[in-house]
Amino acid sequence: MAKYAILIYEDPAFYTDASPEAWSAVLDAHNAFAKQVFELGGSIEGGAALAPTTTATTLKGGGTVTDGPFVETKEALGGFYIVEARDLDHAVEIATQCPAPGGGVEVRPVVDPTTNPF
């Protein structure tokens, strides 16, 4: 089994005015997703929700440090899962179940440091 990152990109504004009920529904959807991963024959190796981009600190080449996100975009990385899947097709099948009501998800292989992926 290979490892894949499921990156969740959403519009942060989607959550800004979310009611407690809406937030609870999102959490319930993620709990259901975790169960679906196992039902589909995969496993979750890790993951987390990330604080809003307004809390980010960006470091650029040369050591320049700035507050906030580096790129202005409508959607921002809001969380991720690391899953084990048979192959990319299996990882995509799993990712189709990942809740991202304010955007979408990206699936990317996790690099095995013992091999050169490039």
What was the pLDDT predicted at 27? 94
Dihedral sign computed on CA atoms, order 26, 10, 57, 46: positive
CATH number at residue 25: 3.30.70.1060
The structure's pTM equals 0.86
Inside any domain, residue 70: yes
What was the pLDDT predicted at 34? 97
Residue 15 lies in domain: 2-109
What was the pLDDT predicted at 40? 97
**How many domains does the chain divide into?**
1
Q: What are the pLDDT digits (tens) for 8-23? A: 999 888 888 889 999 9
Residue 3's pLDDT band (cuts 50, 70, 90): very high
44: tokens are: 């979750």
Nearest to 12 by CA among 96, 80, 78: 78
Inside any domain, residue 115: no
With beta carbons less than 8 A apart as the criterion, state whether 59 and 108 touch.
no
With beta carbons less than 8 A apart as the criterion, state whether 9 and 76 touch.
yes
